Amino acid sequence: MVPKSLSEARVAIVGLGLMGGSLGLALRERHACREVVGIARRPETVELALRMGAVDRATTDLAAGVADADIVVLATPVRTILRQIPMLGSLLSPPCVVLDMGSTKSTICRALAALPDGLQPIGGHPMCGKETTGIEVAEATLYQGKTFVLTPLPRTGLQAVALAASLATTAGSRVIFLEPERHDRLVAAISHLPYLLSSALVAAAEEVGQADKAVWDVAASGFRDTSRLAASDVTMMLDILLTNREAVLAMVEALQGQLGSLADCLRREDEASLRALLEGARARRSRM
Q: Considering the complex, state which of residue 43 and residue 280 has its C-beta at the smaller distance from a second copy.
A: 280
Residue whose CB is less far from a second copy, 51 or 287: 287
Taking alpha carbons only, the member of 104, 34, 50, 30 closest to residue 74 is: 104
> Residue 63 or residue 242: which is nearer to a second copy going by CB?
242
Task: Say if residues 59 and 3 touch (Cβ distance below 8 Å).
Answer: no
Please state the closest distance from residue 229 (CB atom) to a second copy, in A: 5
Interface with a second copy (CB under 8 A), residue from 151, 166, 198, 243: 198
Q: Does 256 bind a second copy (CB under 8 A)?
A: yes
| Minimum distance of a second copy from residue 167's CB (angstroms) | 19
Which range in 50-58, 61-69, 110-118, 214-222 contacts a second copy by CB under 8 A? 214-222
Is residue 162 a contact point for a second copy (CB under 8 A)? no
Q: How far is CA 182 from the centre of its chain?
A: 15
- 3-class SS of residue 74: strand
Determine the Cα–Cα distance for residues 228 and 199; give it in Å rounded to an integer.
9
166 binds a second copy (CB under 8 A): no
**Cβ proximity to a second copy, 58 vs 142, nearer residue:** 142
Positions 142 through 161 that interact with a second copy (CB under 8 A) = 146-147, 149
**Which of these ranges, 1-9, 17-25, 50-58, 194-202, lies near a second copy under the rule CB under 8 A?**
194-202
According to DSSP H, which parts of 212-270 are helical?
215-218, 221-227, 234-242, 245-267
Question: What burial letters (b/e) apply to 227-255, b meaning 16+ CB within 10 Å?
Answer: bebbebbeebbebbbebbeebbeebbeeb
Q: Which of residues 260-279 bind a second copy (CB under 8 A)?
A: 260, 262-263, 266-267, 269, 271, 274-275, 277-279
Where does this chain touch a second copy (CB under 8 A) — which range of 29-37, 38-46, 86-94, 280-288?
280-288
Q: At what angle do helices 18-29 and 43-52 cross, to 10 degrees?
A: 30
Q: What is the Cα–Cα distance from 39 to 121, expressed in whole angstroms?
A: 19
The enclosing H or E element of 99 equals: strand 97-100
Least distance (Å) between residue 191 CB and a second copy? 5
Cβ of residue 90: shortest distance to a second copy, in angstroms? 30
Radius of gyration of the chain (CA): 21
